[in-house]
């Protein structure tokens, strides 16, 4: 038997015998029961309560006007024009239409239709279509800004007055 084989045999036997030992000494880290952050917890809870109280006061005050808002995005480079200024204007228009689409989804909902075909326990086709239909009246443009050198972002908002008008129309069955 060679020295390498003897050394390997001794290592394997030592490992096997040490695994049979019933004394295992593993030192686990100790975790303190109270930390500095726990001492600050009551003050953090009080801060949260005061912030929520301020928000509730603003929402119930006569000056609070809830609204629905949406953001639309569009890229300048994909617009079909040779003039850069015209492409910027077209991107702003496309971003506005994207925001209107998002408002329509929020107010009137979205209809989703799906179809899945399985043949021989294998998915063969999976189709998904979404459609929406609605009229948005009274949306105002909150901001128009470039988000990068190539993208515009537009935020639209519908005020509480128009939301209340929509709710009344739904209740009357007009929409």
**Rounded Cα gap, residues 11 and 5, in angstroms:** 10
pLDDT of residue 21: 54
pTM over the 0.75 mark: no
Higher pLDDT: 37 or 165? It is 165
Handedness of CA 52, 102, 99, 95 (dihedral sign): positive
Structure-token match 């009246």, residue found? 137
Alpha helices in 63-159 (DSSP H): 84-108
Provide the pLDDT for residue 137: 83
List, in sequence order, every beta strand (DSSP E) within the chain.
68-75, 111-119, 122-131, 139-146, 151-158
Token pair for 3: 């020295």
Are 156 and 96 a contacting pair, CB within 8 Å? Answer: yes
Distance CA 103, CA 70 (A): 6
Are 87 and 95 contacting, i.e. CB atoms less than 8 angstroms apart? Answer: no
pLDDT (0 to 100) of residue 151:
93
Sign of CA dihedral 88, 90, 96, 99: negative
Task: Quote the pLDDT of residue 95.
Answer: 95
């Amino acid at each position: 038997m060679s020295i390498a084989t003897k050394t390997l045999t001794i290592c394997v036997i030592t490992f096997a015998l040490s695994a049979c030992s019933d004394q295992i000494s593993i030192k686990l880290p100790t975790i303190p029961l109270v930390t500095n952050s726990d001492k600050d917890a009551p003050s953090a809870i009080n801060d949260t309560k005061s912030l929520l109280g301020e928000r509730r006061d603003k929402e119930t005050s006569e000056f609070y006007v809830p609204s629905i808002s949406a953001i639309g995005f569009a890229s300048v480079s994909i617009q079909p024009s040779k003039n850069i200024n015209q492409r910027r204007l077209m991107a702003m228009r496309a971003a506005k239409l994207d925001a209107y689409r998002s408002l329509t989804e929020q107010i009137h909902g979205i209809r989703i239709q799906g179809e899945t075909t399985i043949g021989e326990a294998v998915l063969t086709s999976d189709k998904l279509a979404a459609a929406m239909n609605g009229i948005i009246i009274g949306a105002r443009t909150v901001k128009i800004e470039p988000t990068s050198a190539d993208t515009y972002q537009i935020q639209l908002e519908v005020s509480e007055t128009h939301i209340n008008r929509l709710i009344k129309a739904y209740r009357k069955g007009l929409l």
